[in-house]
Amino acid sequence: MTLWGIEKFKLHARGKCFNCLASDHVVRDYRSPTCCWRCRGRGHHASGFPRKPSEHRVKQPAPTSKLSFLQLSSPTPPPSNHTSTRDACRSYLEVARGDPAPAAMVAYPGDPRACPNGEQVFVTATRGIKRRRDALVGKAAVCWLQGNSHDTEPYHVGDALRSKLGLAFEDFQVVKHYPEQYLVIFSEERFRQRVTQQHIIEDGGRVFNFATWNEAREAEDAQLEFHVNIRIEGIPPHAWGEDVAALILGQSCAIHYVEEHTRRRERTRTYDVWAWCADPNKIPKTMWLTITDPDAEQPPVDTPRIYVQVHHEPPTGLKHALSYKVFPHLVVVEDLSFIIGDGGQGAPPNHKRRREFLWRYGELDSLGEAQGCHDGDHGCQEHRNHRRDEDHDGCGGNNADIEASQPRAVSLAAVMEL
């Protein structure tokens, strides 16, 4: 190893265990067999590694493009709790997902090679979102500069508006923004109109461009063509709320409304919602809902800063949490393309206006569509009488189903072992 390599390794190992390079303990507290720095195997030192480095190096494979939270939170336990020599050279992400063990470099927490390239999240426009949108529409503008703008700050934009248009300090607020450089929020719509009609303002050798802000400025149009009924089993009573249900379904659905009996918490066996969905096949069959211990609440944002003393306690250890296994049961799928008159033109032969599905408490959805529910049937009474009532919801509910419907909590550490 070169001198530069030695110094680089010392910097990497600083504050870590010199045996396994973990950061949560030191070498004097290490109780497992000796760990080889070269192959990550156990029972020998790097100096006793049997092969030459050139024989051991393997090209690092490209990271997987799909590494979702659901995969990391798989409820299926591993066959063994013992860490083998083969597992020692794998990242904790690969072990958690159950991937085959390649002879690859160990990924570290936050490693961009191990992070997913992209995911999609659906959010319903709540009252808060609508209220904030209404406060911006008509009063907000975006601002950007032509050419080099690294030496420009928000106060330069303010100076230009005051000197060129005669606006006062209290007439607007300038904040840094992206992808445009600044977002300007005016106190009245007439001030925003004056600025955007001017469009270009030159001041101090800088050229400021202004345009009206709206919510579609940096967005892409999307259409959700399915309306689905989902009954989420396993949400504990203290987490009973639309915000929690929205987080559970966020990667596949946006909640339309919550059933009234659920909203009033008249029964807590399942959290029943209707939701908009782009692809019902992406609704997960099960996942883990992890709720951490509460933290100190922050003061309201409308409280003036001069009256607020924000203090955040630094971490003193691992964060405790409880994880609950939840089952989002898909009950009904309605195809909205029939409403707009498309009628499923160009769709597969099994294209239907409405489908109803069978399900059981405590089990992954696998029974499929209820037979006898024909296109246009909204009641499907034959199957509803058989499988669902207020006492035994699901497909032929029984005492085992009732027991399986109760929230099951485990510690976060136990989930991370899965």
φ, ψ (nearest 5 deg) of residue 210: -125, 145
pLDDT at 343 over 60: no
- Whole-prediction pTM: 0.64
Q: How far is CA 238 from CA 235, 265, 268, 292, in A?
A: 8, 11, 11, 13
274-314, pLDDT tens digit by residue?
A: 999 999 999 999 999 999 999 888 888 777 777 777 778 88
pLDDT digits (tens, 9 = 90+) for 199-248: 999 998 899 999 999 999 989 999 999 999 999 999 999 999 999 999 99
Cβ contacts of residue 99 below 8 Å, gap of 6+? 90
Query: Which pLDDT value is given to residue 331?
Result: 96
E strands, 54-119, where?
none
In 259-295, the DSSP E strands lie at 270-277, 287-292
pLDDT of 124 above 50: yes
Q: Which helix (H) or strand (E) holds 35?
A: none
Local structure of residue 304 (DSSP, 8 states): -
Q: Which residue from 229, 241, 236, 255 is spatially nearest to 330, judged by alpha carbons?
A: 229
Tokens representing residue 23 in the block: 């950061």
- Average of pLDDT values for 348-361? 87
Domains, the chain, with CATH or none: 31-119 (no CATH), 127-212 (3.30.70.330), 226-295+317-416 (no CATH)
Q: Residue 82: is its pLDDT beyond 50?
A: no
pLDDT surpasses 60 at 394: no
Of residues 20 and 393, more confidently modeled: 20
- No. of helices (H) and no. of strands (E), the chain: 13, 12
Q: Which of 350, 359, 221 is nearest to 283 (CA)?
A: 359
Confidence of residue 398 (pLDDT cuts 50, 70, 90): very low
The number of beta carbons lying within 10 Å of the beta carbon of residue 232 is 20
3-class secondary structure, 328: strand
Asked whether the bond before 75 is cis by omega within 30 degrees of 0, the reply is: no
